[in-house]
Chain A
Amino acid sequence: DAGVIQSPRHEVTEMGQEVTLRCKPISGHDYLFWYRQTMMRGLELLIYFNNNVPIDDSGMPEDRFSAKMPNASFSTLKIQPSEPRDSAVYFCASSLGGINTEAFFGQGTRLTVV
């Protein structure tokens, strides 16, 4: 398996624009996580899905953020409208079901909002 695949790797956009980040989890994994990493706040859990269903979105910072998982092999994280403070590295991770399983991370998307 190619691992968790995220696209794009880098995104530069202007404030106010819509941004869509994409993730393909490892085949067969039941859980999908979206994280945001900044120097100030570390690695924050934004939302996670189990079997395509959102379980906990309490980490989503504002209504400007939304995430979907229409099927087991694809998820999106959308920011509309984007703001400079959204600049961060966004990671997608997936894992098998079961508590004693680790999360595997994608390469991340570095988002810069100017």
Chain B
Amino acid sequence: QKEVEQNSGPLSVPEGAIASLNCTYSDRVSQSFFWYRQYSGKSPELIMSIYSNGDKEDGRFTAQLNKASQYVSLLIRDSQPSDSATYLCAVRGRAGKSTFGDGTTLTVKP
């Protein structure tokens, strides 16, 4: 089992729709969780971080964390073509180790 798993893509949504991205992790003692966005040919960049159970909103983005279920999600409201990218879930756990999922590629169609 991979340490961080993301729902297989690719994911395609129409412009203005809600995109939902999911991630599960195996290490129960993981403490911090991040969503990165990676455009083709570029390096990953942070878009959201979450540390406590519940929801965290930042503009059109909402991250949700459920530690009991070892589950993290990212919702993108009012999706725009510029949101088309690969989204990477990252988990930071023991001794500062930072592990990424394989990513989900999102395409927002105009």
Contacts and interface: CB of A to CB of B under 8 A. Distances in A.
A31 B44 contact: no
Nearest to A97: B96
A43 B100 contact: yes
Interface string B47-78: 00101000000000000000000000000000
Contacts of A99: 31-32, 92-93, 96
Contacts of B98: 31, 33, 45, 48, 93, 95, 103
B100 A42 contact: yes
A43 B91 CA distance: 13
Contact of A43 (B34, B46, B93, B103): B103
A42 B96 contact: no
Contacts of A107: 42-43
Contacts of A103: 34, 90, 98
Contacts of B46: 102, 104
Given A43-B44, A43-B102, A105-B43, A100 B97 contact: no
B13 to A, nearest CB: 22
A55 B44 contact: no
Contact of A31 (B42, B90, B96): B96
B99 interface: yes
A45 B102 CA distance: 11
